[in-house]
Amino acid sequence: MATASASIGVGRAGVKHTTLVYLVDQAASRILLALKKRGMGAGKVNGPGGKADVSAGDTSIRATAIRETQEEMGITPTDLQARGLISFVFTNDGEHSWDNDCTIFFGTQWDGEPTESDEMAPEWHPLDAVPYDRMWPDDELWLPDLLAGKEVYWQFTFDGDAIVDSASYADLPTMLAAIGAPEAAALDA
Ligand SMILES: Nc1[nH]c(=O)nc2c1ncn2[C@H]1C[C@H](O)[C@@H](COP(=O)(O)OP(=O)(O)OP(=O)(O)O)O1
C-alpha cells in the first residue's frame, strides 16, 4: 500500500497526489489500458498509475508514473510527457478520503512487454474504440482531448461512481487558483 505524499506533484495541499499513464502504439493506432483488479476503481478499465510515494523512492511525479507502470504492467515508459491535471473530489464520506489530484501522462514508447500483475490486466484497444462504457465516467469527457494532443485540466466531483459536478480550465495556473492549490512552476516537478 503506497502512502500519500503532497510534497510530490501539483494539486491541493493535504490531498493524495496520483498519476495516470496513457500509452499509445502509434504504428498500430491502439492504446494500452488495463482492467484494475483491486483497490480504487477495481473492475474498471483505466491507465496504470497510483499515488506518489516517497518511501518507494519517488523523487518526482514523473518517477511515480514510471514506477506505477512498472509495478502494474511490467513495462518502463521512456518518453512520458505530463499533459494535464484532473482533480477528483469524492463526497462519499465526510472526510473526503478518496480525493486525489492526478497528473496525466502521455507516452508512445516503453521498454518491455505489458504483463498482467496482481493489480492490473493489460488490454489493447483501437484508438477509435476506447471502451468508455467500462471506464470511470469522467474519462470520456477528457481522454479524447488528450488523445488529440491537447492538455487537459478538469475537476470532477463524484458521489460514488456518479459525477455530480465538473469544471474544465484553460491552463494549469487557472486550475490551481480555482481549486485552491498552491502555484506550481511545472506540472511534472
Ligand atoms: N474518477 C476517476 N477517473 C479515473 O479515470 N481515474 C481515477 C479516478 N479516481 C481515481 N482514479 C485513478 C487515479 C489513480 O491512478 C488511481 C488511484 O490510485 P491509488 O494508488 O489510490 O489506487 P489503489 O487503490 O490501487 O492504491 P494502492 O492500494 O496504493 O495500490 O485511480
What is the full DSSP assignment across 7-50?
TSSSS-TTSEEEEEEEEEETTTTEEEEEEE-SSTTTTSEE-S--
Ligand 1 binding residues, C-beta < 6 A? 1-2, 18-20, 39-41, 46, 49-51, 88, 100, 102, 136, 138-139
Residue of 5, 33, 51 with the most ligand 1 atoms within 8 Å of its CB, for mutation: 51
pLDDT at residue 2, as a whole number = 43
In a domain, 162, yes or no: yes
The CATH number for 98's domain is 3.90.79.10
In a domain, 10, yes or no: no
Enclosing domain of residue 152? 16-178
List alpha helices for the chain, DSSP H.
61-73, 139-147, 172-179
Q: What's the whole-number mean pLDDT along residues 1-28?
A: 85
C-alpha–C-alpha distance, residues 132 and 130, integer Å: 6
In a domain, 167, yes or no: yes
**Residues 116-126: tens digit of each pLDDT:** 999 999 999 99
Check: CB of residue 74 under 8 Å from CB of residue 110.
Answer: no
99 grid coordinates: 480525493
C-alpha–C-alpha distance, residues 151 and 85, integer Å: 8
109 grid coordinates: 514508447
Cα of 157 to ligand 1 centre, how many Å?
A: 15
Check: CB of residue 45 under 8 Å from CB of residue 34.
Answer: yes
Which residue, by CA, sits nearest to atom 26 of ligand 1? Answer: 39
**Residues 64-80: tens digit of each pLDDT:** 999 999 999 999 999 99
